[in-house]
Structure 1
Amino acid sequence: ADSPFLASFDRAQQICMLRFVVPGWRVFRLLGLGTEWGTQKHVGALRGYARTIVKDLKGDLEGEAGNSFVGLFMKSGEATSDKLLEDLVLNFLIAGRDTTAQAMSWCLWEIMQHKEVERKILEEAENVMGAGDLTYDMINKLEYVEAVIRESLRLHPSVPIDAKETLADDTLPNGTWVARGSTVAWSAYAMGRSTRLWGEDAAAFRPERWLEMSSPPDAYTYAVFHAGPRECLGKRLAMVEMKALLLLIVKEVQLSLAVPAEEVRPDFQLTIGMSTGLPCHARPRA
């Protein structure tokens, strides 16, 4: 990243991911060595950015800033400290910066390999939009586009691995006993490719499977947005954004991969990026 802030953002996420797999990370953090090298510098850069955002919002609460989520939180009187507000700002950045962008990248990667899917998206665009502009009501009618996005997220979930800490002794459905205070991790990436959950064609990109279902899978089977009380708050917003963006991109631009598809490899961090980016050719549709 060219921006020092974005560089610190990326490095901080890498450090967080490494804590899942490096047993001695607490020692490294204490000494500022190994995988924890530069942690304070990068966290400080993120905090400084969030502090600036909070300061700017405070200065414009009666204006447009007052209608932002953080601005509304300030005006509610529930903000007990500036640190809490900074945490909110960082939470929004972490939840929204890479997740949607990377989900869109993987979705386009799949579409560029499946021209029949692209054709069906264009058909739906014609049926729903015609020659007019896209509206919110139209977005809700984009059933096939939503199926494409859900199928891509099944195979390429934005957050590949997640974890919870048990508040009490418990027993998992398979009979495994879990002590209080244990960390239980699961992989949405592995679950999305499980033949036990999705059938023998689990590895295939087939959006039609979502239109064939009598009812959608529960959130614990399709765990890309988490489930239960900690389900992603931005789930609906993200889907609306992605449906609108995907439709407009496919409608206006003809894309093709500039490298063999297998050269685009996943880059597993807190989110799943692309090790090469997404090299592609783009030209306006006639």
Structure 2
Amino acid sequence: MNNAKSNLEKKEDIISRFMAEMEHDPENITYEYLRDITLNFVIAGKDTTAGTLSWFIYLLCKHPYMQEEIFQEVKEATRAGQDICINEFVKKITIESLDKMKYLHAALSETLRLYPSVPLNSKSCFSDDTLPDGFNVNRGDVVFYMPYPMGRMEILWGDDAENFQPERWLDDDGSVRNESPFKFTAFQAGPRICLGKDFAYTQMKIFAAVLLHFFKFKLCSKSNDVHYKTMLTLHIDQGLYVLAYLR
């Protein structure tokens, strides 16, 4: 058991860390709890993150100058030379370097505004209530809201709501602007806001930084507009076909 515990503590993945913590808090961290945590990460974090990165690559192919701007930001944040190998580059991706990637963060937020991972969502009313606009709902009613059209409403985002514009997420000093989660609903809001929000941003920024540092992406066809396929998450219908060129 001591050897097994030692091996777990040497690993840095999140499941191994939870298993190591079971030794310290066996009453609260049980195998059933660990199973639920694992399923939550797999179900809530796999398709959503992968889908967002696909839409992100698609939008950058449509806006090549933004792709180059993010590449330069990643290069400066990591202080990585052009001839660095991928293993050495990954070591340079730290919390500090990720925090410097403001434009990348903004571009991912703008991707989620236009192409939210979950385009249609609903809530069940536990009791009678009145919504902010004065509409009355009863216990047991189901209220639907739609992040996809909400992200394109001019009343919320201005006349350029249909445009991919990462700058809308940056203040004049270059810092990231945090919009109200009730306006930017990609991660939900209130008590049920996504617990994995920061984890998702970190994961997406790491993958995006590695991909854009080593590759340039272009659509297979300049007229290759893609269409969405609404499932539980927002898929690209028929997949995304791109050409990847080494920098």
- State the TM-score, normalizing by the size of structure 2: 0.82
Q: 1:73 to 1:155 in 2, by over 3 A?
A: farther
Corresponding residue number in structure 2 for 1:143: 102
Q: 1:79 to 1:143 in 2, by over 3 A?
A: closer
Is 1:193–1:203's contact at 8 Å kept on the other side of the alignment?
A: yes
Corresponding residue number in structure 2 for 1:76: 26
Q: Considering only aligned residues, what root-mean-square deviation do their CA atoms show, in Å?
A: 2.5
Is 2:113–2:184's contact at 8 Å kept on the other side of the alignment?
A: yes
Corresponding residue number in structure 2 for 1:90: 39
Corresponding residue number in structure 2 for 1:9: none
- Residue 190 (str. 1) matches residue 140 (str. 2): no
Is 1:70–1:88's contact at 8 Å kept on the other side of the alignment?
A: no
Percent identity of equivalent pairs: 35
Instruction: Indicate which of 162, 183, 200 corresponds to 1:238.
Output: 200
In structure 1, C-alpha distance between the alignment counterparts of 2:78 and 2:34, rounded to whole Å: 40
- Residue 166 (str. 1) matches residue 125 (str. 2): yes
After superposition, the C-alpha distances for 1:141-191 in whole angstroms (9 at most, x for unaligned) are: 111111111101100111111111112111112221100121111111111
Instruction: Indicate which of 127, 149, 166 corresponds to 2:76.
Output: 127
Is 2:106–2:169's contact at 8 Å kept on the other side of the alignment?
A: yes
In structure 2, C-alpha distance between the alignment counterparts of 1:117 and 1:248, rounded to whole Å: 16
Is 1:168–1:180's contact at 8 Å kept on the other side of the alignment?
A: yes
After superposition, the C-alpha distances for 1:217-276 in whole angstroms (9 at most, x for unaligned) are: 211101111111111111111111111211221111011001355542111111111112
After superposition, the C-alpha distances for 1:75-120 in whole angstroms (9 at most, x for unaligned) are: 53236774x5544332221111101111000001000010121121
Once the two structures are TM-superposed, the CA of residue 202 in structure 1 deviates from its matched residue by: 0.4
Instruction: Provide the aligned length of Structure 1 versus Structure 2.
Output: 226
Structure 1 consecutive aligned stretches of length 4 or more whose deviation exceeds 6 Å: none
Tell me the secondary structure at the aligned position of residue 122 of structure 1.
Answer: helix
Instruction: Indicate which of 218, 239, 242 corresponds to 1:277.
Output: 239
- Report which of the two has the higher share of helix: 1
Corresponding residue number in structure 1 for 2:159: 200
